[in-house]
Amino acid sequence: MKTNFMFVLLLCSSSLMAAAPDYTQKIQIDADNLVSVEENVLTYRSNVVITQGSMQMKADQLEINARAGKGKEIYLATGKPVTYSQMLADGKTVTAQALEMRYEPLSRTLTLTGDAELTQSGSVVKASSIKYNVEKQQLSAESDKTKRVTTIFTPEEKNNP
């Protein structure tokens, strides 16, 4: 039987919201090769870098599926691992890594699967899969038979006068 642990963590405050310009800027893709051009599907391979504002994802391969129409593209990145980073409005960085990441710009949802890990402000969530809303800073994590959801909170340091 599959063991599920749902962990919902709201890391949201007005000071932690992602910089608004990230979502209004173009998405740029750089790679060594564009190896496949099917109808409404592009496949990039080797040293793939996806950038939108301060958000950056690095992967071994990226498939962009635009079959659902303009504005509804799905970006599927694979690698060993795929990495993600984003600078928040307060200057802190969110980082993530997994064997596969699926990004849906319309819903601003990043889904990490396979040894998924997300770090923010020194705290870490590890799970089989993590779904993360990059705009709201919300996440849910789920385990499978081989891995439980683990969260490590790092306390803030207080400056004593």
With 70 as the cut, is the pLDDT of residue 142 above it? yes
Q: Find the mean pLDDT for residues 123-132.
A: 94
- The pLDDT value recorded for residue 84 is 97
CA 24, 52, 118, 157 dihedral sign is negative
pLDDT digits (tens, 9 = 90+) for 4-35: 333 333 333 333 344 446 877 899 999 999 98
Cα–Cα distance for residue pair 96/131, rounded to 1 Å: 11
- The pLDDT value recorded for residue 21 is 62
Rounded alpha-carbon distances, angstroms, from residue 114 to 128, 147, 150: 5, 10, 14
- The pLDDT value recorded for residue 85 is 96
Cα–Cα distance for residue pair 5/147, rounded to 1 Å: 10
More confident call, 42 vs 91:
42
Cα–Cα distance for residue pair 54/134, rounded to 1 Å: 12
- The pLDDT value recorded for residue 45 is 96
As given in the structure block, the two tokens for residue 112 are 């990490």
* Bridge pairing between strands 93-104 and 28-30: unpaired
More confident call, 115 vs 2:
115
pLDDT digits (tens, 9 = 90+) for 77-127: 999 999 999 998 888 899 999 999 999 988 989 999 999 999 988 899 999
Say what the pTM is. Answer: 0.80
